[in-house]
Structure 1
Amino acid sequence: MIEYIKGEIAELSPASATIDCNGLGYAVNISLNTYAAIQGKKSCKLYIYEAIREDAYILYGFADKQERELFLLLISVSGIGGNTARMILSALSPSELINVISTENANLLKTVKGIGLKTAQRVIVDLKDKIKTCGMASGAVDITGPAFTAANAQVQEEAVAALTMLGFAQAPSQKVVTAILKEDANAPVEQVIKLALKRL
């Protein structure tokens, strides 16, 4: 079993990374959080989850163990596969996801693409106690900045969607929009987009 892969970053996109380990290139699926963490670096260490199926052998990589732990918890929920779990971890940082589950904020969770209300509620029901037993409840985690409200998430989603339509890559757009909303949580979507255009 592969615990982690450490090497040079040969190729990097918001959804995948190719890590060169002594001439052997590993294609690894990553979340936007991991992309943001390793972007601009020459080499990195990714903690790995191997998804071995009859028709595929897929590697998922994470910049830290906590994100991998959350990924494993997410895929233990019925109806959530690797790609959906990665989508959740791309939309929310680990601390935000822990906060969402701890506070039972199904409305914020269902703003993630591909997650309906029933699935969001199932994630919360299945993982609320597990997060406490793993010592991940919001008290044990450094949550940077205020937790996003549902309205906040809506503004974030609309702003990122608008920026990607304008031709900006999703990961930097998400990062800039998140930073703007941390500075002014009540900023309307137009203002967020205008500020983001100046920073991107």
Structure 2
Amino acid sequence: MIDFLRGQIAYIETEYIVLDVQGVGYRVFCPNPYVFPAKGQEMVTVFTHHHVRDDAQLLFGFPTKDEQRLFRKLIEVSGIGPRVALGILSGGNPDGVIAAIHNENIAFLTKLPGIGKKTAQRMILDLKDKLEGLGGATLFNPISADTAAEDTLAPGWPEAKEGLKALGYTDAELDRVWAKLKDQLHPDEAVDSLMKKALKMLYAG
């Protein structure tokens, strides 16, 4: 089992990074590859999950130990494989996912890629009591999972993201833009405003 790798980024693609570890390039699939520094800037540690299938061996990688642990919990749920778990983490901040599970927020969970109502219910049933110690201490405040969801995704962002995907942009491109955009928004930002601001960043590269 490969639990982590330490090296320099050789290059970044939309679904994975290639990490140069003493001259060996490891392809590591990530929820958002662009959270890692650009090519060759510094040494980075990538927490990994080594997934072995009959026809392939795949590495999935994360910037934090908590995200790695959450991924491993997700793939224990019936019907959630590594690719779906990766989509969950790309579609929602790990803290928001944990809070939504704890607070049984099915509406939030079903907005995540590949998650229908039955799978969301299964996630809650299987994981609600197994996530202690993951994420921030405020996640389990019972005020409302909607509050946690708004901290993760502005109310209009899921709709704006779907509109941008219809224009041909990928999840990875939009996640990269969201990471830059989310701290510049008003709480009541309209969908069309979100799309315009995101498009401006996308055009700028």
TM-score category, normalised to shorter length: 0.7 to 0.9
Identical-pair percentage: 35
* 1:25 matched to 2:25: yes
Aligned residues of 1:28 and 1:58 also touching (Cα < 8 A)? yes
Q: Secondary structure at the match of 1:54?
A: coil
What aligned pairs does 1:133-172 form with structure 2 within 5 A after superposition? 135-136=133-134, 139=137, 147-149=148-150, 155-166=156-167, 168=169, 170-172=171-173
Q: For residue 106 of structure 2, what is the aligned residue in structure 1?
A: 106
Q: TM-score, normalised by structure 2?
A: 0.81
Aligned residues of 1:163 and 1:193 also touching (Cα < 8 A)? yes
- Unaligned runs of 5+ residues in structure 1 are none
CA 1:45–1:181 in structure 2 vs 1: closer, same or farther (change >3 Å)?
closer
Aligned residues of 1:77 and 1:123 also touching (Cα < 8 A)? yes
CA 1:137–1:164 in structure 2 vs 1: closer, same or farther (change >3 Å)?
closer
Aligned residues of 2:88 and 2:114 also touching (Cα < 8 A)? no
Q: Secondary structure at the match of 1:7?
A: strand
Aligned residues of 2:8 and 2:44 also touching (Cα < 8 A)? yes
Report the Cα offset of residue 199 of structure 1. Answer: 3.4
Q: For residue 130 of structure 1, what is the aligned residue in structure 2?
A: 130
- Unaligned runs of 5+ residues in structure 2 are 142-146
Report the Cα offset of residue 108 of structure 1. Answer: 0.9
Aligned residues of 2:50 and 2:59 also touching (Cα < 8 A)? yes
Equivalent residue pairs, number: 192
Aligned residues of 1:102 and 1:137 also touching (Cα < 8 A)? no
Q: What code does the residue aligned with 2:104 have?
A: E
Q: Secondary structure at the match of 1:130?
A: coil
Q: TM-score, normalised by structure 1?
A: 0.83
* 1:194 matched to 2:192: no
Q: Secondary structure at the match of 1:25?
A: strand
CA 1:60–1:180 in structure 2 vs 1: closer, same or farther (change >3 Å)?
closer
Aligned residues of 1:111 and 1:154 also touching (Cα < 8 A)? no
Distance 2:45 2:140 in 1: 22
Aligned residues of 1:180 and 1:195 also touching (Cα < 8 A)? no
Q: For residue 174 of structure 1, what is the aligned residue in structure 2?
A: 175
